[in-house]
Amino acid sequence: MKVSDIKHPGLVAWIREVSDYCTPDSVYVMDGSVDEYDAIMQKSVENGIAIPLNPEKKPNSFLFRSDPSDVARVEKRTFIASAKQEDAGPTNNWIDPVELKKTLKDLYRGCMKGRTMYVIVFSMGPVGSEFSKIGVELTDSEYVACNMFIMTRVGRKVIEELGTDGFFIHCLHSVGKPLADGETDGGKWPCAPMEKKYIAHFPETREIWSFGSGYGGNALLGKKCLALRIATVMARDEGWLAEHMLILKITNPEGRSRYITAAFPSACGKTNLAMLIPTIPGWTVHTLSDDIAWLRYGKDGRLYAMSVEAGFFGVVPGTSMKSNPNAMLAAQKNTIYTNVALTEDKDVWWEGIGYDAPGKLIDWQGNEWIQNKADKDQKPSSHPNSRFTAPASQCPCISDDWEDPRGVPVSAILFGGRRPSTIPLVHMARSWTHGTFLGSIVGSEITAATLDAGSGIRRDPMAMKPFIGYNAGDYFNHWLKVGAAAKSQDLLPKIFYVNWFRKTPEGKWLWPGYGENSRVLKWIFECCDGVAKTVDTPIGIMPTVDAIDRPEGVSEEDMKELLNVDVDGWLKEVDDIRNNYYPTFGDRLPRQLSETLDELEQRLKKAKAGKCCCCCKK
Ligand code: GTP
Ligand code: SPV
Ligand code: MN
C-alpha cells in the first residue's frame, strides 16, 4: 500500500514528517497480507540477515542472528520521559522530555538512509473491540515488520478501523544504522552501539521513540512499550489495569471452566504455565495469552481480562516436547527463530530441546559448534534469551475464546517469582488489599554472581518493575482503587502467591513444576468454588498438607516443607521490605500497604511467641 491510500490526514502528516527527517529510500505501508510478509522476509534473506529453514522440518520459518550487543531488552537504556521526574518514580530512568527529544532528533536525522521505512498500523487487542488500542509503528527494520505481523493484528483492517480521525499511539523505531550509497547490511544485524540505544516513552503524549536496537521488546513497540508502559498510563487515567500476565482457561472433569491470570517476572514461567498440560486426570488447560493481559470491569461487575497480542515471543532454551509440547508444536511452521543454533540440514537446535545436537552446528554467533558433553564449561549454542515468534492461532491448546473482544471473566490472579526459600508453594490473600500487598513484594532471588548488593532479591512488583510507565507508588494506589471500585468484593478475583522454584539446601528442586503445577491450579479452582481444604496462617490462607495431591517424587516431608510457614524467614522478609524496599517509594506508597505489612509482622511475631490462634500445626 502507499501513503496516499491512507485517509487519516493526521497519520499521513506524521509519516511525511518522519520520512522527511529520517530520509528512508522509500516508504511502504503494510496491508497485512501473507504475500507481503513473504516479500519482506525475502528481502531479509537477500540481505543475508535471515536464513530460510528446511521446509520439510520447519515450513516457512526463518532464523535470525542478532548482534551480541543486541540480545535482550536493555533496561538501562529505557526511559520514562514524563514532564516531571517524580511522575516517572523510583523504578524508572528519567530524562527531561525536551532534552531527550533533542538528543533523539539528532540521532534520527538521516538515520533511515538506504532503507525502506515500513508503516505498520496495528491493533493491540482484537480489531474492533472497544478495549483495543491502535498504534502505528514507523520502522526501518524488516525483522520488526515481520515480527509485528505475527505478534499483532496489522494492516488494511486496522487502517479502516482507524478511519479518518481515530486516535493512535505514535511509535517511531530505527535500528540506527544508516547505509552509505551502495552499502548493504551484508549479513550483519544492524543496530547502534549501547550508548546510542534509547527506548524512550513520553507518557503524557502517548509517544514511543526507540533507537538503536532491533531486538524484542526494544523494537516490537506494540509489546512492552505500548501494551505495558504506555498502556499502564492510559489504564490509570481510564480506570483499568495493563499487566504482565498470562491468561489461561482451566476446565475441571465436570466440564466447568474458570479463567486465571498470572504475573511472573520475565523468564519465570508464564509461557509454560499458559500452555500447561495437567498431570491430573480429567483436567484441561487452554491458553489465551502468554505475556500480557488488559483487565477491566464487565457489565456484570466482574473483572474481565483481554488478550492483546496475536503471537508468542517465547523463550527457546529449555523448551522441549517434554517441558512444553504446545509451544513446540506452535513453533513448527510460519515461525521466526532468533539466536538459536542451526543444524547441517537447516533445522534449529538449542540447549534443553530434549535430544543431542545432531552433528556439526552453527551457533547463534555464526561459529561452528560441536556438542561436547564432557566440557561442562562449553559455551551454549543458543543465547539464553533466544526466542521463537509464532502465531498464537497455531498453538494446539489455544482457547476458542482467545479473541473475544470482551475478554473473559477472571476468577483468580496469581503472582509469583523464583524464590528458592521462604515463600511457600502457594498461599491466598485474605482480600484485594492483601493481594495488592503480595503483588507489591514479588521478587526473584538472584544468584551470587549477580551484582545486587543487599538483600539478594530483585523486587519486581507485580512482575512489572521494568514496565510501569509512571510512579510505582501511584501504580500500587491504582491497584487499590480498582479493587475499591468493585460493585461487591465477592465479585473480585481471588489473589494468590505461588512459587514453583523452592530448592533443597543441596540446590535441587523441591517441586517438579510444569504440568505438575496443575495440582496447585486445582486447589486454586477449589478456593474459588469455596470448597478447598484450607488453613488460616500468619501469611494468608494456605492448603492443608493433604489438600494438594503429591506428584511422584515429592515425599510427605517435602510437601510439609513446601507448605511450611517459615516464620523467621518471613520476619526477615518483613524487615527487608520495611527497611530497604518500601522506603524507595517515599510518600507515594499507599498507607494500606504499610499497614498490611505491620499486620503481617504482628501475626508472625505472635506465631513466633507460640500464641498463634490459627495455624500452628507444628
Ligand atoms: P518472558 O517471555 O521473558 O516474559 O518469560 P516467561 O515468564 O514466559 O517464562 P517461560 O515460560 O518462557 O520460562 C522461562 C524459564 O523458566 C524456562 O527455562 C522454563 O523452562 C523455566 N520454567 C518454567 N516453568 C517452570 C516450572 O514450573 N519449574 C521450573 N523449575 N522451571 C520452570
Ligand atoms: C520479557 O522480557 O518479559 C519478554 C521478552 O517477554 S521482550 O518482548 O523482549 O520484552
Ligand atoms: Mn514477558
Residues 551-595: tens digit of each pLDDT: 999 999 999 999 999 999 999 999 999 999 999 999 999 999 999
Atom of ligand 1 nearest to the CA of 264: 7
For 3-47+78-239, CATH number? 3.40.449.10
3-state secondary structure of 306: strand
Mean pLDDT of 270-281: 98
For 229-241, the DSSP string reads: IIHHHHHHHHT-E
What grid cell was written down for 449?
A: 554472581
Give how far Cα 365 sits from Cα of 59, 209, 214, 368, 565, Å: 23, 28, 16, 9, 46
Answer yes or no: is the C-beta of 291 below 6 A from any ligand 2 atom.
yes
Give the pLDDT of residue 102: 98
| CATH class given for the domain over 311-394 | mainly beta
* Ligand 1 midpoint to CA 594 (Å): 31
Give the pLDDT of residue 328: 98
Please say whether the beta carbons of 66 and 215 come within 8 A: yes
Containing 260, the helix (H) or strand (E) segment is: strand 257-263
* Ligand 1 midpoint to CA 438 (Å): 21
In testing the pocket of ligand 2, which one of 313, 315, 316, 462 has its CB within 8 Å of the most ligand atoms? 313
Give the pLDDT of residue 327: 98
CA–CA separation, 290 and 477 (whole Å): 26
CA–CA separation, 105 and 29 (whole Å): 23
Give the pLDDT of residue 615: 54
Around 469, how many Cα atoms within 13 Å sit in the side-chain half-sphere?
30
Give the pLDDT of residue 447: 40
Q: What is the pTM of this model?
A: 0.97
Query: What DSSP designation does 470 have?
Result: S
Q: Cite the residue boundaries of each domain of the chain with CATH code 3.90.228.20.
A: 243-310+401-617
Mean pLDDT of 436-454: 69
Contacts of 482 (CB under 8 A, 6+ apart): 239, 240, 241
**Tens digits of per-residue pLDDT, 224-251?**
999 999 999 999 999 999 999 999 999 9
* Ligand 3 midpoint to CA 312 (Å): 10
User: Residue 293 CA: which ligand is closest?
Assistant: 3
Mean pLDDT of 534-551: 97
Q: For ligand 3, a single-atom ion, which residues have Cβ within 5 Å?
A: 266, 291
User: Residue 267 CA: which ligand is closest?
Assistant: 1
CA–CA separation, 121 and 70 (whole Å): 25
CA–CA separation, 166 and 365 (whole Å): 43
What grid cell was written down for 275?
A: 500452555
Please say whether the beta carbons of 357 and 371 come within 8 A: yes
The owner of cell 480498582 is 482
pLDDT beyond 80 at 61: yes
pLDDT band at 455 (very low <50, low <70, confident <90, very high): low
CA–CA separation, 161 and 154 (whole Å): 11
pLDDT band at 86 (very low <50, low <70, confident <90, very high): very high
Q: Cite the residue boundaries of each domain of the chain with CATH code 3.40.449.10.
A: 3-47+78-239
Give the pLDDT of residue 584: 98
* Ligand 2 midpoint to CA 387 (Å): 9
Please say whether the beta carbons of 378 and 283 come within 8 A: no
In testing the pocket of ligand 1, which one of 261, 271, 276, 444 has its CB within 8 Å of the most ligand atoms? 271
* Ligand 1 midpoint to CA 579 (Å): 30
243-310+401-617: which CATH number, 3.30.70.270, 1.10.3720.10, 3.90.228.20, 3.20.20.150?
Answer: 3.90.228.20
**Tens digits of per-residue pLDDT, 599-611?**
999 999 999 998 7
**Tens digits of per-residue pLDDT, 580-591?**
999 999 999 999
Answer yes or no: is the C-beta of 224 below 6 A from any ligand 2 atom.
yes
pLDDT beyond 90 at 188: yes
pLDDT beyond 90 at 448: no
Greater confidence, 453 or 500? Answer: 500
Task: Give the chain's mean pLDDT.
Answer: 96
Please say whether the beta carbons of 86 and 101 come within 8 A: no
Mean pLDDT of 12-40: 98
Please say whether the beta carbons of 387 and 339 come within 8 A: yes
For 39-66, the DSSP string reads: HHHHHHHHTTSEEEPPTTTSTT-EEE--
Mean pLDDT of 436-459: 70
Please say whether the beta carbons of 142 and 158 come within 8 A: no
Atom of ligand 2 nearest to the CA of 265: 3
Estimate the crossing angle of helix 591-608 against helix 432-440, to 10 degrees: 90
Answer yes or no: is the C-beta of 266 below 6 A from any ligand 2 atom.
yes
Q: How many other C-beta atoms can be found within 10 angstroms of the C-beta atom of residue 420?
A: 17
Buried/exposed code over 462-480 (b: 16+ C-beta within 10 A; e: otherwise): bbbbbbbbbbbbbbbbbbb
Q: Cite the residue boundaries of each domain of the chain with CATH code 2.170.8.10.
A: 311-394
- The bridge status of strand 341-342 relative to strand 348-349 is antiparallel
Give the pLDDT of residue 611: 75
In testing the pocket of ligand 2, which one of 266, 312, 336 has its CB within 8 Å of the most ligand atoms? 266
Residue nearest to ligand 2 atom 8, measured at CA: 217
Mean pLDDT of 9-16: 98
Class of residue 380 by CB neighbours under 10 A (exposed 0-12, middle 13-18, buried 19+):
middle
Mean pLDDT of 25-51: 97
Report residues whose beta carbon is within 6 angstroms of any ligand 1 atom: 264, 266-272, 290-291, 314-315, 318, 323, 500-501, 509, 513-514, 517
What grid cell was written down for 301?
A: 461487575
Mean pLDDT of 284-306: 98
Give the pLDDT of residue 451: 37
pLDDT beyond 80 at 198: yes
Answer yes or no: is the C-beta of 311 below 6 A from any ligand 2 atom.
no
3-state secondary structure of 426: strand
**Tens digits of per-residue pLDDT, 323-350?**
999 999 999 999 999 999 999 999 999 9
User: Residue 271 CA: which ligand is closest?
Assistant: 1
The lowest-confidence range among 38-52, 364-378, 434-448, 502-516 is 434-448
In testing the pocket of ligand 2, which one of 70, 73, 226, 339 has its CB within 8 Å of the most ligand atoms? 73
* Ligand 2 midpoint to CA 356 (Å): 28
Give the pLDDT of residue 457: 78
* Ligand 3 midpoint to CA 10 (Å): 32
Atom of ligand 1 nearest to the CA of 509: 30
CA–CA separation, 535 and 560 (whole Å): 13
Q: Any catalytic annotation for residue 268?
A: yes
- The bridge status of strand 341-342 relative to strand 78-80 is unpaired
Q: Which residue in the list 111, 146, 191, 268 is annotated as catalytic?
A: 268
Handedness of CA 220, 226, 229, 230 (dihedral sign): positive
Containing 157, the helix (H) or strand (E) segment is: helix 156-162
DSSP strand E in 67-168: where?
78-80, 116-124, 133-139, 153-154
pLDDT band at 618 (very low <50, low <70, confident <90, very high): very low
pLDDT band at 613 (very low <50, low <70, confident <90, very high): low
Give the pLDDT of residue 612: 62
Dihedral, CA of residue 226, residue 107, residue 9 and residue 160, to nearest 10: -40
